[in-house]
Amino acid sequence: MRICIPTRDKNGLKAEVHAHFGSANYFIIYDTDSNSHEVIENTNIHHSHGMCHPLSVLGGNNIDAVVCSGMGLRAIQKLSEGGIKAYRVNAATVEEVIEHYNNNSLELLTPENACSEHKCD
């Protein structure tokens, strides 16, 4: 599985997870099969609220899932349309996200539990 994690920096597994998916500086793509990762710069970082286009940045990277601390309804819908699942987890670093993945403790994001105006329950 290839997991995309929005981050503030590009420090690999030690990278700090960014609170908002579409506004992250970078995306770390972690491959659970090979235990490897790559860094992608978010070239769509400056967008109007609700107008992020994550697949324009992530397209072509064969992403299976996005894991972050929360995500709005439109982002969930756009990812779902691309066949990508979205999960929520409370983690400070990419390494912690991977630990949660390995422990099956990620929460699937759905329209019912999406964030609203960057506010999450």
**Total number of domains in the chain:** 1
On whether residue 120 sits in a domain, the answer given is: no
We report the CATH number of the domain holding residue 74 as 3.30.420.130
Q: Which helix (H) or strand (E) holds 76?
A: helix 73-81
Q: Do residues 53 and 81 lie in contact, with contact meaning Cβ atoms separated by under 8 Å?
A: no
User: What average pLDDT does this structure show over 1-22?
Assistant: 92
Does residue 114 or residue 31 have the better pLDDT?
31
111 pLDDT more than 70: yes
pLDDT confidence tier of residue 119, bands split at 50, 70 and 90: low
Q: In terms of residue numbers, what domain contains 98?
A: 2-113
On whether residue 52 sits in a domain, the answer given is: yes
On whether residue 60 sits in a domain, the answer given is: yes
Rounded Cα distance, 62 and 56, in Å? 13
Closest to 53 (Cα-Cα) out of 61, 44, 62, 66: 44
On whether residue 95 sits in a domain, the answer given is: yes
Q: Percent of the chain having pLDDT more than 70?
A: 83
pLDDT for the residue 51: 52
pLDDT for the residue 104: 95
pLDDT for the residue 4: 94
User: What average pLDDT does this structure show over 34-50?
Assistant: 78
pLDDT confidence tier of residue 81, bands split at 50, 70 and 90: confident
On whether residue 33 sits in a domain, the answer given is: yes
What dihedral do alpha carbons 116, 117, 120, 121 form, nearest 10°? -60
On whether residue 118 sits in a domain, the answer given is: no
On whether residue 119 sits in a domain, the answer given is: no
User: What average pLDDT does this structure show over 67-95?
Assistant: 89
Half-sphere exposure of 46 (CA within 13 A, CB side): 0
- Kindly report whether the global pTM for this prediction surpasses the value 0.75: yes
pLDDT for the residue 19: 80
Residue type, 87: Y
DSSP codes, 8-65: SS--GGGPBBPSSGGG-SEEEEEETTTTEEEEEE-TT-S--TT---HHHHHTTS---E
- DSSP letter at 97? H
On whether residue 44 sits in a domain, the answer given is: yes
22 pLDDT more than 60: yes
